[in-house]
Structure 1
Amino acid sequence: MCTKIPICKEEYEKEISATREQRMGWWREARFGMFIHYGLYSTKGTHEWSMAYENYTQEEYMEFLKCMTFDASMPEKWVKTAKKAGMKYMVLTTRHHEGFSLWDSAANLYNSVNYGPHLDIVKLFVDACRKEGMRIGFYFSLMDWIHPDAWKCAVDAQARLRFTSYLQEMLRELMTQYGKIDILWYDISRPMTSWEGWDSLRMNQMVRELQPDIIINNRSRLEEDFGTPEEKIDAEKGDWEACMTFNGISWGYIDSDSCIPYSYNAHEIIRMLCKVTAEGGNLLLNIGPKPDGSIPDEVLEPLHTVGAWLQKNQEAVYGRKKPTIVYRTNGLCSATESGKKVWIWNWIWPENRELRLGGFLVRLKQVKELSTGRAVEFEQTERYIRLLGLEEEMRDPLLSISVFELEFEEEPQYARGFLYPQLHLGRTYTEQMEQLKSNLQDR
């Protein structure tokens, strides 16, 4: 329980708002993280919700513990793979809905030290992250399929008190046994439908008392620090992070050979990164390790390629970016933006060796191909910018996704959605329409 007297919701929100800029600073620049779904469901290999979907009793489901032979070296491989992919933080499922904890818990004896691999997987994960300088996140499910009070709590006050106390004791362990933790990632607040029901105000004050710099997502039915749209890139007000499976089917492990047709390739991941960056969010991309903890085969090549591409084009992704309306500066490109710079992501290489970009209303200073730093010749008129002489050598050799950095003399302004003549500084839309009418009459 919280050692301080809990403050009211309004005071709590005021306090966390006052420190949010400092606490969220690193996260807003990180852009890209790895989600790891590992649990007892990994050994079954059909879906992380299999216990519920297939209506297993706990006794039946515990049979899968016999196949849970976790390799203690795997968390280091997770972290090295994430780092090589250009990811800056990681979130591990410390306890999923099945109620099985991956740490040495006194509050929940049904855990990976007492059963299965007899290992503190959370500790192995934390140690591996610290070794590589990776930010650490803990996923924690509020929903529980096996605790006797987990469903009664919605209608029974005493059951609710017992169950929320149980959750808080587990959280206290996670917040005190592993040093500094950067992220608390709650999931599924069922069956109760309010923060009051979950005692989230007391619970989260306890977490913040133990981990003052932590950031918390919005799934305990309090707004907290950031939103988490799931399986979609959908910008939210404030800070947000799109969490995505690797195959659109399961967060947990399923057969690699069967998953290949459904899994993301490097091009798709880069496009997701562009979209979250342009819209002011982050991407948390999931992997579901095999029963021994090894990384699924279909994940490795795309992540390695993405990491190699990001190494050369990182300025267009990392760091604080201004959410921009320039999703398509033409039909072949998207864009990200910060300060006086706009990065043009070219998806389809132009056969005529030039790109024409409409909508920019300020003077362009210089252009370069980002990965090589090679200067690009350009022409700017009242209506468009043309990037000229785009040699084949400028074409990205990894994915054919080249990024052009446009630096302007001042922060860019745009006209979007206008047909010829394009709106530009010094002339109103009405004046331009008059000019267009005059031009047509002259013909």
Structure 2
Amino acid sequence: MDHRVARRGFLSGATGAAVALPFGASALPQEHGAPQTSGGPALLAYQERTRADRMRWWHEARFGMFIHWGLYSVLGRQEWVLESEGIPIPDYERLARHFQPRPGCAREWARLAKRAGQKYMVLTAKHHEGFCLWDSKLTDYNAAKQGPRRDLVREFVEAARAEGLRVGLYYSLMDWHHPDGETCATDPAARERFVAYTHGLLRELLTNYGTIDILWYDVTLPLSPEQWRADAMNAMVFDLQPQIVVNNRNGLPGDFSTPEHKVAADKRAWETCETMNLGWGYQRADDEWKSTKRIVNDLTLCVQQGGNYLLNIGPDAAGDVPAESVRVLGEVGAWLKTNGAAIYGARGRAADAFGNYTNFTAAGNTLYVHVYFWPSRTPDAVARAFPGRETVVAVGGVRAKALSARLLKTGEAVRFTQDAVSLRLTGLPEAAPDSPTTVIAVECDGPAFVDHHLIRPEWKRYGVGTVD
């Protein structure tokens, strides 16, 4: 898994490293068979013509919840356990008897997402294991006929809608359980059956549950987009759900790209998907939890670069979300209640350079300065050499005139001075007013842009250390 941030100089965690982050191994994501970024036009004229309208809410939402949940949750060793441990399929099938989620667990997830400030939810309706969480007429390997004997997709959709959240469904094209799921690569008859089965399952998902806002494909292996008939697949999807948003992991460009385990801006719409610990599916022994600061700062980085952030939870077989996920999401939500104006609907590309302790988003003429390492006062030892001892947040290269400034946490006005090279926010408290990140809203005389590299030719140079 790759946890690197793609841009220089922004510290996503509380470490001193500039690019690589020590939050896990550097192996390829397990879903590396799926495209993560992709440019170029989509194949459907309708998709191109309607994209701006269909994606307006998505761009404003910024923050969503991913939910990896399936039979693998019974074992509690992540979602790839069938393949990674080489479990015989008849043995794995018996897990369905023990997959008995509590009634109402999906409603609890939706309430958690709402408290966390997330605006949409995406559920793994079918992961690579091939078990369908809905009442399918095409296979008995589903939650309505085995295990819980309930349509878990319907419960999820109704729960998300009850909380006013947008609804997304994940669907893995790759299938380790279906008898044609691998032989389709070389056997034309198997391919015809399996592709028809796949299109049929997607038709069920997009027909039986009312409006679906997002279709999140994953992993095209073992077929090419042409073999999947991906163009016909997307045509069917938009025929059934004209306002849906579709990602790029069926081999076509889709509406948005999907960098995984990293913040990597694309030239078009994009969404980073990330875990709260190391794994996607429930892993009872995985305690490498990301901090609230890390998640808030990654969300800010996504918004600053113009993207969305899809953050995963992995419930256990009963549907219970790990306590640490609940705690951290609650803290993220509390921060967003105060600072949401700096995230939701904020425009990307508010800056082309990061500070040593700051990042930037903007909306209209308001520049939001996100201070993730509070600078505090100048130490006594250097106060004589560096003018002033008060706490100052300084931003070089602000390309707009500041008119006023305030702390989002308290609404308190912030004094400032500004010249050609620097905006200095002064008289700030020694301790950070907010946690894990303090946001200062600066009202400007026009849309603000920050690039401290631009000030190099504007500094007054004094010739210190030169020889006449």
Please give the TM-score of this superposition, normalised by the length of structure 2: 0.85
Specify the SS of the correspondent of 2:424. strand
TM superposition shift of 1:297 = 1.3
Q: Is the 8 A contact 1:326 1:335 kept in 2?
A: no
Letter matched to residue 218 of structure 1: N
1:306-328, Cα deviation, whole Å (9 max, x unpaired) = 00000000011110413233442
Corresponding residue number in structure 1 for 2:168? 137
Does the CA contact (< 8 Å) of 1:327 and 1:335 recur in 2?
no
In the TM superposition, what whole-angstrom CA distance separates every residue of 1:102-126 from its partner, at most 9, and x where no partner exists? 0000012110111111111001101
Q: Percent identity?
A: 40
Q: Aligned pair in 2 of structure 1 residues 105, 364: CA closer, same or farther (>3 Å)?
A: same
Q: Distance in 2 between matches of 1:327 and 1:283?
A: 20
Letter aligned with residue 266 of structure 1: T
Q: 1:247·1:259 contact (CA, 8 Å) conserved in 2?
A: yes
1:406 counterpart letter in structure 2: V
Query: Once the 2 structures are TM-superposed, how far is the Cα of residue 268 of structure 1 from its aligned partner?
Result: 1.0
Q: Report Cα offsets for 1:43-79 as digits up to 9, x if no partner.
A: 0111211111111222111222232111121000000
Q: What is the letter of the counterpart of residue 231 of structure 2? A: L
Q: Aligned match of 1:292 in 318, 341, 352?
A: 318
Q: What residue number does 1:266 align with?
A: 292
Question: Aligned residue for 1:301?
Answer: 327
Distance 1:10 1:88, change over 3 A: closer
RMSD: 2.1
Take 1:242 and 1:22, find their aligned partners in 2: how far apart are those partners? 22
Given that 1:88 and 1:134 are in contact with CA atoms closer than 8 Å, whether structure 2 keeps it comes out as yes
1:7-59 deviation per Cα after TM superposition (whole angstroms, max 9, x unaligned): xx989433211100000000001011000011001001112111111112221
- The answer to whether the Cα contact below 8 Å between 1:103 and 1:121 also exists between their aligned partners in 2 is yes
Residues 1:233 and 2:263 are matched in the alignment: yes
Q: Tell me the secondary structure at the aligned position of residue 335 of structure 2.
A: helix
1:350 and 2:375 matched:
yes
Determine if the alignment matches structure 1 residue 282 to structure 2 residue 312.
no
- Report which of the two has the higher share of helix: 1
> 2-side partners of 1:36 and 1:415: how far apart?
37
* Contact persistence 2:365–2:446 (CA under 8 A): yes
Confirm whether residue 403 of structure 1 aligns to residue 434 of structure 2.
Answer: no
Q: Paired residue for 2:283?
A: 254
**Aligned: 1:339 with 2:368:** no
- Contact 1:349-1:395 within 8 A present in 2 as well: no
Q: Is the 8 A contact 1:278 1:327 kept in 2?
A: no
What residue identity is the alignment partner of 1:347?
A: Y
For residues 244-303 of structure 1, the C-alpha deviation after alignment (integer angstroms, 9 at most, x for no partner) is 11112x211111xx333x011211110111110111111111111011011111211100
1:110 aligns with 2:141: yes
Measure how far apart 1:391 and its partner are: 2.5
Structure 2 residue aligned with 1:196: 226
Give the conservation status (yes or no) of the 8 Å contact 2:60–2:344: yes
Counting matched residue pairs gives 416
CA distance in 2, matches of 1:414, 1:406: 12
Q: Match for residue 153 of structure 1?
A: 184
* Alignment-mate amino acid for residue 400 of structure 2: V
Which deviations, in whole Å up to 9, do the C-alpha atoms of 1:403-435 show, x marking residues without a partner? 0011211222444325xxx35xxxxx4xx58x6
- Closer/same/farther in 2, CA of residues 292 and 402 from structure 1, 3 Å limit: same
Distance in 2, matches of 1:269 and 1:10, equals: 32
Query: For residues 198-218 of structure 1, what are the alpha-carbon distances to aligned partners after superposition, in whole Å with 9 as ceiling and x for unaligned?
Result: 111111111110100001000
Is 330-339 or 27-36 further displaced after alignment?
330-339
Whichever residue aligns with residue 179 of structure 1, its letter is G
300-309 or 147-156, larger mean C-alpha shift: 147-156
Alpha-carbon shift at residue 438 of structure 1 (Å): 7.7
SS at the partner of 2:56?
helix
Match of 1:376 in 2: 414
Displacement, 1:367? 0.7
2:202 to 161, 171, 174: 171
Relative to 1, partners in 2 of residues 1:176 and 1:317: Cα closer, same or farther, differing over 3 Å? Answer: same
Please tell me whether the aligned partners of residues 171 and 215 of structure 2 are also in contact (alpha carbons under 8 angstroms): yes
Deviation at 1:392, TM superposition (A): 5.3
Unaligned runs of 5+ in 2: 1-39, 378-390
TM-score, normalization: structure 1? 0.89
CA contact (8 A) 1:89 1:136 kept: yes
What aligned pairs does 1:422-433 form with structure 2 within 5 A after superposition?
Answer: 422=455, 429=457
Distance 1:436 1:10 in 2: 48
- Is the counterpart of residue 311 in structure 1 residue 342 in structure 2? no
Q: Which residue of 2 aligns with 1:3?
A: none
Alignment of 1:123-134 (within 5 A): 123-134=154-165
1:388 paired residue among 414, 426, 443: 426
SS at match of 1:259: coil
- SS for the counterpart of 1:308 is helix
Q: Do structure 1's residue 32 and structure 2's residue 63 form an aligned pair?
A: yes
- For 1:312, the aligned partner's letter is T
Aligned twin of 2:45? 14
Q: Which amino acid is 2:439 matched to?
A: V
Structure 1 gap ranges (5+)? 1-8, 424-428
| Structure 2 CA distance for aligned equivalents of residues 142 and 54 of structure 1 | 21
Change in 2 beyond 3 A, CA 1:337/1:184: same
Partner SS state of residue 44, structure 2: helix
- What's 2:385 paired with? none
Read off the aligned partner of 1:206 and give its amino acid letter. Answer: M
2:96 corresponds to 1:60: no
Question: Could you tell me how far 1:372 is from its partner in structure 2?
Answer: 2.0
Amino acid at match of 2:208: Q
Contact 2:350 2:449 in 1 (8 A): no
- Cα distance in 2 for residues equivalent to 1:334 and 1:241: 19
